[in-house]
Chains A and B, each alone.
Chain A
Amino acid sequence: MFQNRTEALALALPAAVFAAVVFLVPVALLLSEGFKTADGWTIQAYIDFFSMPLNQAVFLRTLKLGLTVTLAAAVIGYAAAYAIVTLPASSKGKMIGLVVLPLMISPVARTYAWIVILGRTGIINQALSAVGLTDGPVRILFTETAVFIGLLQLFLPLMIISLISALENLPRDAVPAARVLGANWFQVFWKVILPLSREGLIVGGTLVFTGSLTAYITPAILGGSKVLMLETLLYQQVTVANNFVSASIIALILIAMSFAANILLRRIASARSAK
């Protein structure tokens, strides 16, 4: 560890100052617009914003989709990550590569594919009617389900990778040992796997939740104007209504939700490990 403070600051400051000037300042200015009126500072705009049923509905929908996508990603993520870490080293690397692969593909393209898959004549509907589960085609496109599926596919890899790096540190025989001692799978997960992988869950959960809140293309294309989310509402407010106050309010809500998610996940994780 070097002790020279001036040198340390000289090295770190350019990045910090850059982030502050081009990032924090304009974003802070934008956020301040929601509180500013001709006669001073007020939260009236926020009261007005939340008193509109459309805004309430959009807010709740965004929260709901963010939470369900994160939850689903965590469940599938654990199953997949656990399966991957138990693989022999050679296939592990390949499998991680395949999981990361979608991250390299433009989200525009990935979302585009779902239009074909989820359509009335798409593969899902063909499969459903072939199996005899449905009488006629089910409407999936332009519903919350479509947005949910699109977001989950977009962000699941982030959860899996985060959990893999956490589970790698799991002692190899911890799970078999717990099983031999009579623990069921639920207990194994709750008492052994979760406490040891909480860092990964926090990182993955935050990434998935924040990602779901701030995705633009997926709700825009798969949801359309019938499934507005905060991000698409923000874009509409700026381009159509020229309403920067609403935009500023939505921005603050989105940032606050990301922070809240991060803090909440930390809480949950530390509460578990404290026991």
Chain B
Amino acid sequence: MTLKTLLCAATALTLSAGFAQAQDKTLTISAYAFAQDEFSEILYKPFEEKCGCKVVVETGNSVERLAKLEANKDNPVIDMAVMSTADAMAASRNGLIDTVDTSKLTNFDKLYDVAKDPNGDGMSVGYTFYATSIVYRTDKMKIDSWADLLKDDIAPHIAFPNITTNQGAPALYMLGKALGSDNPDLQVPIDAVSKKAGDIVTFYVKSSQLVQLMQQEEIWAAPIGRFSWAPFTKLDLPLAWATPKEGQTGGMNVMVVTKGSKNRDLALEFMDYWLSTEVQTKLATALVDSPANSEVKVSDEVANNITYGAETAKSLTLLPASVSLDNRDAWLAEWNAKVGQ
């Protein structure tokens, strides 16, 4: 191939890429990176057909995407985003998001009450919630309490969530409760973890990695969110979902609309579609997201693998978003000073 041919090829590719982007109605959303193929199948593509528009998705973790929203404050690229309740509150405090006009959401009344306005500021709507507990090898140990994770014979075989992940603070909070401290400054559990930091296999950032580590017998237990449970069940290992006596924790993910978005109505239309019984049922059946829509009915088998039902939702010990947000910097500093080295 001569340079000339290559040059032509490159020009052609650049041009075609340019044309592909030049569609007039485009909704840009920012979402978690996981299960994008399922989301595309169940949510994005049907919606694109419905609205005659194009859905462009940016992915990353919650904090990463919040940083980008902040960076593009004056000229928002993203129309709609999903994130943790704490991040939604941070975004709202920094003036990055707008009130959600729930009158335009026809499916709003079907939501569980906890999901309707999780932060109490009218800026976000919950679309899924999840339990967080411990996945463990039943042939190697027995987990009755969060504190069991730090036992001498167990600690060298666990992965603990890093403080920077959505599971980090809730897991530490439960550990604190097990150790007799309810204090949201998390000093007691961070201290306890730091004493075992050398033993603990890793402080994970990506929960998907845990499946590989479990399969390699690198770890025997780890606190995880229920949304990452499904792949573990496919491993040929005796694994169980712990029900510690201190209870399970968890979290909720919410939808927000970017302030200054030029596609506000389209974004609301998209949110409404995402909350519809049809889409929420499909997402639940695919074991992607547990439903926040109370009309969703799933089989027992599916229910066992997700966080299903109003009762379950109520039983979770959740860290309020404001607590997470107000303590986040202090937690990170404490963690970095004690555990990070």
Which of A's residues lie within 8 Å of B, judged by CB? 52-54, 57, 115-116, 119-122, 137, 139, 141-142, 224-226, 228, 236, 238-242
**Dominant SS at the A interface?**
loop
A224 touches B63 (CB 8 A): no
User: What's the nearest-Cβ distance from chain B to residue A235, in Å?
Assistant: 10
Interface centre among A54, A122, A226 (most CB of B within 10 A): A226
* Contact across chains for B70 and A242 when beta carbons are under 8 A apart: yes
Bound complex: CA of A226 vs CA of B335, how far in Å? Answer: 12
The answer to the question of B23 belonging to the interface, with a C-beta cut-off of 8 Å to chain A, is no
Contact B218 A54 (CB under 8 A): no
30 A-B pairs within 8 Å (CB atoms) are namely A52-B337, A53-B341, A54-B337, A54-B340, A57-B341, A115-B212, A115-B216, A116-B216, A119-B213, A119-B216, A119-B217, A120-B217, A121-B218, A137-B217, A141-B202, A141-B218, A142-B202, A224-B202, A224-B205, A225-B162, A225-B202, A225-B204, A225-B205, A225-B340, A226-B197, A226-B202, A228-B340, A236-B164, A239-B67, A241-B332
Is residue B203 within 8 Å, beta carbon to beta carbon, of the partner chain?
Answer: yes
Closest to B198 in A: A226
Extra 12 A-B pairs, beta carbons < 8 Å, given A225-B340, A226-B202, A239-B64: A54-B337, A54-B340, A121-B218, A137-B217, A224-B202, A224-B204, A225-B203, A225-B205, A226-B197, A241-B329, A241-B332, A242-B67
Is B327 in contact with chain A by the CB < 8 A criterion? no
Residues 177-204 of chain B, each 1 if its beta carbon lies under 8 Å from chain A, else 0? 0000000000000000000010011111
Task: Tell me which residues across on chain A come within 8 A of B200, comparing CB atoms.
Answer: 226
**Residue from B204, B212, B332 in contact with A240 in the complex, judged by beta carbons closer than 8 Å:** B332
Inter-chain CA distance A228–B340, complex, in Å, is 8
Minimal Cβ-Cβ distance residue in A for B201: A142
4 nearest A-B pairs in the assembled complex, by CB-CB distance: A119-B216, A142-B202, A224-B202, A57-B341
Q: Which residue of B lies closest to A55 (CB)?
A: B336
Taking the nearest CB of chain A, how far is it from the CB of B254, in angstroms?
20
Total chain B interface residues with beta-carbon distance under 8 A: 25
How far is the CB of A158 from the nearest CB of chain B, in Å? 27
With A57-B341, A139-B201, A225-B205 in contact, do A240 and B164 touch (Cβ < 8 Å)?
A: yes
Q: What is the count of residue pairs linking A and B with beta-carbon distances less than 8 angstroms?
A: 59
Q: Among A119, A226, A238, which residue has its beta carbon within 8 angstroms of that of B203?
A: A226
Q: How far is the CB of A234 from chain B (nearest CB, A)?
A: 14
Point out residues on B near A: beta carbons under 8 Å: 61, 63-64, 67, 70, 162, 164, 197, 200-205, 212-213, 216-218, 329, 332, 336-337, 340-341
Bound CA span A130–B217, Å: 18
B15, chain A: closest CB distance, angstroms: 23
> Which residues of chain B are near A116, meaning CB under 8 Å?
216
In the docked arrangement, what's the CA distance between A120 and B201, Å? 11
Closest Cβ neighbor of B332 among chain A residues: A241
With both beta carbons as reference points, the residue of chain A lying nearest to B64 in the complex is identified as A239
A52 to B217, CA, bound (A): 35
Q: Cβ of B341 and Cβ of A119 under 8 Å apart?
A: no
Q: Are A120 and B63 within 8 A (Cβ)?
A: no
Task: List the B side residues contacting A236 at CB < 8 Å.
Answer: 164
Counting chain A CB atoms within 10 Å of each CB, the highest count among B70, B162, B205, B218 belongs to B218
> How far apart are the CA atoms of A57 and B64 in the complex, in Å?
25
Q: How far is the CA of A236 from the CA of B216 in the complex (A)?
A: 27
* Neighbouring B residues of A239 by C-beta, 8 Å: 61, 63-64, 67
On whether the beta carbons of A224 and B217 are closer than 8 Å, the reply is no
Identify the closest chain A residue to B219 (Cβ).
A120
Does A240 contact B336, Cβ atoms closer than 8 Å? no
CA distance A8 to B23 in the complex (A): 46
Q: Which residues of A contact B162 (CB under 8 A)?
A: 225
Q: What CA separation (Å) do A139 and B157 show in the bound complex?
A: 10
How long is the Cα–Cα vector from A141 to B218 in the complex, in angstroms?
9
In the complex, what residues of A have CB within 8 A of residue B212's CB? 115
How distant is the Cα of A116 from the Cα of B201 in the complex, in angstroms? 15
Chain B residues closer than 8 Å to A226, beta-carbon distance: 197, 200, 202-203
B67: chain A residues within 8 A (beta carbon): 238-239, 242
B247 CB to closest chain A CB (Å) equals 27
In the complex, how many angstroms separate the beta carbon of B173 from the nearest chain A beta carbon?
A: 19
B273 to chain A: closest CB distance in Å? 30
Cα–Cα distance between A97 and B336 once the two chains are bound (Å) = 45
Task: Closest B residue to A224 by CB, please name it.
Answer: B202
Shortest beta-carbon distance from A216 to chain B in Å: 13
The smallest C-beta distance from B158 to any residue of chain A, in angstroms, reads 12
A60 to chain B, nearest CB (A): 10
| CB neighbours of A240 from chain B (8 A) | 63, 164, 332
Q: Assess whether B164 is in contact with A54, with CB atoms less than 8 Å apart.
A: no
Given A116-B216, A119-B216, A242-B70: A54 in contact with B205 (beta carbons within 8 A): no
Chain A residues whose CB sits within 8 angstroms of the CB of B216 once the complex forms: 115-116, 119-122
| Smallest CB gap from B341: residue in A | A57
Q: Are B218 and A119 in contact (CB under 8 A)?
A: yes
Q: Which residues of B contact A142 (CB under 8 A)?
A: 201-202
Q: Which residue of A lies closest to B197 (CB)?
A: A226
